[in-house]
Structure 1
Amino acid sequence: MFGGIHMIHPIEIPFSINNTEKYLIYSSIEKRKYHLLISIPTCEIPPDGFPVLYLLDANANFATLTENMRLQCRRATITGLHPSIIVGIGYDSDEPYDQARYYDFTFDSFQENLPKHPLGTQWPPHGGGQKFLSFIVNEVKPFIEQKFKVNPNKQSLLGHSLGGLFVLFCLFLKPDAFQYYIASSPSIHWNETILFEKKQQFLKSLSDKKEKIKLLITMGELEKNHFSNMHEKANMLASEMQAYDGEILETTFYEFQNENHITVLLPLINKCIAFINDKSI
């Protein structure tokens, strides 16, 4: 005792998020290693299996999304918000955003079509999106489907910035891979020419689709000031997609007031959970 105050002796113990698992996975396609962060709902498994939400940039956003999903879906019978398995795809790094994402989230593009780097430097290696997409569809998804009972008709993909661009490419190139696509602040300026080509091909093929596809594009209001005009480009893309809305496609655009390219991530989570539960946005 010191001055009438009891001295405490804390014992350091490891910290982890409950009901989560972490795996190191080697991609046979990419010949690289990734981290898979998996959040598992604690409720009883639904008869048709758990929905699955695949999250890009897991290093930055997995913990926040996991805790919010858990809190908001605690009383599903009252709120109608049912939990999903969250599968975060991240990197073998302590940084929230690894430079490898430039390669994984972008698709082939001529150098002259790329935006100028805001710092005037060269962009990191890029253009590996097709391989990364194959990795998700052909390696990550089968692993999850083998390990858990999942609902094949409730599969979602969420990405922000370059990750949002990747979500759009995935929709246009592999629309049957998921049913819910969330493109947050997509960097459309990066691969605008080739993205436009793939979008046109996708829209022409809509009549051949049988399953409903839902797309959510979001932007922060303050992103109107972004050097890339990403707000305007995303709004225009959403408007064009909405012209094709019907039994197969449903597109929603949402702007977060007073939010910028980074602060938009927190309110995005609320809309994302509502969206994949077919609630109004």
Structure 2
Amino acid sequence: MTEVWILSGKEPGVNYRVQVYIPEQPPQSERGYPVIYMMDANYYFGLGTEVIRNQSHNLLKTGIDPAIVVGVALDAEDSVIRERRFYDFTPPAPVYTYPDKMKGKTTGKHGGAETFLNWLTDELQPRIIENYPVQQDKQCLYGHSLSGLFALYSMFKRPEAFQCYLAISPSIWWNEKHIYSFLSGAKDSKLFISVGEEEGFMVEDAMALYHRLPSTMDENTSYYVADDENHASVVPATMSRAFRYFFSC
């Protein structure tokens, strides 16, 4: 069963479409279901729910439990969603530097990750916990590309908000790798970071960040390069592996 909410964001006129998938099977824990929060739900919510639905029926072999999937996306036209991603998922910074590939074009507003993170943790998470049987110590945040960058930012800034962070092809390049300035906030969070073999410099970026994580995260971090996958194909190629990592934690 999937329920859909339209919730107001932190700013006037900004609304988010929240999709909540509830499994047919009862939770494996008496404390409730694990929860996966999926960013960019307009792209990935359907895929995420199908992975949970199909594989949780054979959890002894797949390692994937019945879980609630919460998909979050701006409630707007696709073009507006694409531009808004550069605001919601990028960290605040005093100065922004754009890469040559953008050819001098800006992306509209950006640097709103803290505002979006506050909405996610202060408003959406409590609402999910209030309305569904949730295992509060088994929640993860999933993001790809810019939302993968947001997953890293969230882990560094609010490591206690989720027990696991799944960052797929994170846009570490953004603003000359400004994400490194938040590394000191890393604790002992559990992190799955993955990238497609065909993603060029993003493979090097992901590996470099992986090696710069504090030693306290060594045993809690999984780094995976998906053979023959590119920036788009890496999502379906790694989603089961990412989810299995979460459930194994």
- Alignment TM-score > 0.5, same fold: yes
Alpha-carbon contact 2:96-2:175 (below 8 Å) kept: no
DSSP 3-state at the match of 2:111: coil
Query: Which of residues 171, 183, 197 in structure 2 aligns to 1:221?
Result: 197
Query: Which structure shows the higher helix fraction?
Result: 2
1:170 CA drift (Å): 0.2
1:80 aligns with 2:63: yes
1:108 CA drift (Å): 1.7
Q: Distance in 1 between matches of 2:151 and 2:35?
A: 15
Two-structure CA RMSD over aligned residues (Å)? 2.0
In the other structure, the counterpart of 2:18 is: 36
Q: Distance in 1 between matches of 2:38 and 2:226?
A: 20
In the other structure, the counterpart of 2:225 is: 255
Query: Which of residues 125, 133, 143 in structure 2 aligns to 1:149?
Result: 133
In the other structure, the counterpart of 1:184 is: 168
1:63 aligns with 2:46: yes
> Alignment length, in residue pairs?
246
- Report which stretch shifted further, 73-82 or 172-181: 73-82
Q: Distance in 2 between matches of 1:112 and 1:178?
A: 28
Q: Distance in 1 between matches of 2:56 and 2:177?
A: 40
Alpha-carbon contact 1:21-1:38 (below 8 Å) kept: yes
In the other structure, the counterpart of 1:3 is: none
1:69 CA drift (Å): 1.3
Residue 38 of structure 1 aligns with an amino acid whose one-letter code is V
Map residues 1-281 of structure 1 onto 2, 5 A cutoff.
19-27=1-9, 29-31=10-12, 32-45=14-27, 46-95=29-78, 98-118=82-102, 120-192=104-176, 194-199=178-183, 201-203=184-186, 206=187, 213-224=189-200, 229-241=201-213, 243-245=215-217, 250-278=220-248
Q: Which has the larger radius of gyration?
A: 1
Deviations 1:191-250 (A, max 9, x none): 445421210x224xx3xxxxx5210110000001xxxx222111011122274336xx61
Q: Distance in 2 between matches of 1:219 and 1:170?
A: 19
Q: Percent identity among equivalent residues? A: 33
Normalising by the residue count of structure 1, what TM-score does the alignment of the two structures yield?
Answer: 0.82
DSSP 3-state at the match of 1:88: strand
Listed as ranges, the gaps of 5+ residues in structure 1 are 1-18, 207-211
Normalising by the residue count of structure 2, what TM-score does the alignment of the two structures yield?
Answer: 0.91
1:111 CA drift (Å): 4.2
> In the superposition, relative to structure 1, how do residues 112 and 90 fare at CA in structure 2: closer, same or farther (>3 Å)?
closer
1:173 CA drift (Å): 0.3
Q: Distance in 2 between matches of 1:44 and 1:258?
A: 37
